[in-house]
Amino acid sequence: MRPIRIALTKGRLEKNAVGLFERMGLDCTQLIDKGRRLILPVGPYEAVLAKAADVITYVEHGVCDLGVVGKDTIAEHDTGEFYEVMDLGFGRCRFALAGRKGEDFYSGYAMKTIATKYPNVARAFFEKKGMDIRIIKIEGSVELAPLLGLADAIVDIVETGSTLKENGLEVYETVCPISARVIVNMASLKLRKSEIESLLDRMEQAGASMEA
């Protein structure tokens, strides 16, 4: 049988994930010195480096048993085809509704336009408020949209708040908090239960916190 495979989100969450593996006592030498390799041994496990949304795809399809991915990506691609089992506590930031400083977003009756990289998250947020909005999908630097007059506001990730501040924007409302989570393939959790549970136990002991 192949080793238990963990899909890791490349980039921002990577360093913290490696730190977690090290605290778990796993040998991360190859993962740290990976060059351009995408599949690396980590102790008895195998780490797969992928873009956030692809982490979900690989786990859903069962070619990776577990994944480390931000709640932002999970919220946007919530297919219900995997289990979210643990909050890793790192990669903390939030989704926020933001726009030009000093403007009253909720004033007026005209339909609002929201620019975002996360259309599902934005739609769900305004649906809860019973507000009809128009969404424009933007791929990055979403802050540009209200500055250029394309949108009334954005729904985006805010970490330190400096991107907003340096561009004359401000948070109108927090949508929800974000942090890195562990997701598990549904079949793997049944078929390789003891291996996966012992891995999750080790993660928890190394400082992550189990979610209900």
Query: From the list 30, 163, 167, 179, which residue makes contact with ligand PRP (rule: CB under 6 A)?
Result: 163
| 179 scored as a contact of ligand PRP (CB under 6 A) | no
Rank residues 102 and 140 by Cβ distance to ligand PRP and give the closer one.
Answer: 140
C-alpha distance from residue 188 to each of 28, 131, 144, 171, 209 (Å): 24, 40, 42, 40, 21
Least distance from ligand PRP to the Cβ atom of residue 92, Å: 11
| 120 scored as a contact of ligand PRP (CB under 6 A) | no
Which position's Cβ is nearest ligand PRP? 140
Rank residues 159 and 201 by Cβ distance to ligand PRP and give the closer one.
Answer: 159
Query: From the list 35, 108, 130, 140, which residue makes contact with ligand PRP (rule: CB under 6 A)?
Result: 140
Least distance from ligand PRP to the Cβ atom of residue 119, Å: 14
Q: Are strands 180-185 and 66-70 parallel, antiparallel or unpaired?
A: antiparallel
Residue 63 neighbours by CB under 8 Å, 6+ apart = 5
User: What is the H or E stretch that residue 55 is in?
Assistant: helix 52-60
Apex 32 CA angle, 25 and 40, nearest 5: 85
Rank residues 20 and 158 by Cβ distance to ligand PRP and give the closer one.
Answer: 158
The dihedral of CA 177, 182, 187, 193: what is its sign?
A: negative
Query: From the list 54, 60, 152, 156, which residue makes contact with ligand PRP (rule: CB under 6 A)?
Result: 156
Rank residues 42 and 158 by Cβ distance to ligand PRP and give the closer one.
Answer: 158
Pair of tokens at residue 2 = 């192949």
| 174 scored as a contact of ligand PRP (CB under 6 A) | no
Pair of tokens at residue 74 = 């999970």
| Site size for ligand PRP (CB under 6 A) | 13
Separation between Cα atoms, residue 113 and residue 40, nearest integer Å: 43
Binding region for ligand PRP (CB under 6 A) out of 19-27, 34-42, 120-128, 160-168 = 160-168
Closest to 51 in 3D by CA, of 31, 76, 33, 69 = 69
Residues of the shown chain interacting with ligand PRP in the complex, contacts defined by CB under 6 A? 117, 140-143, 156-163
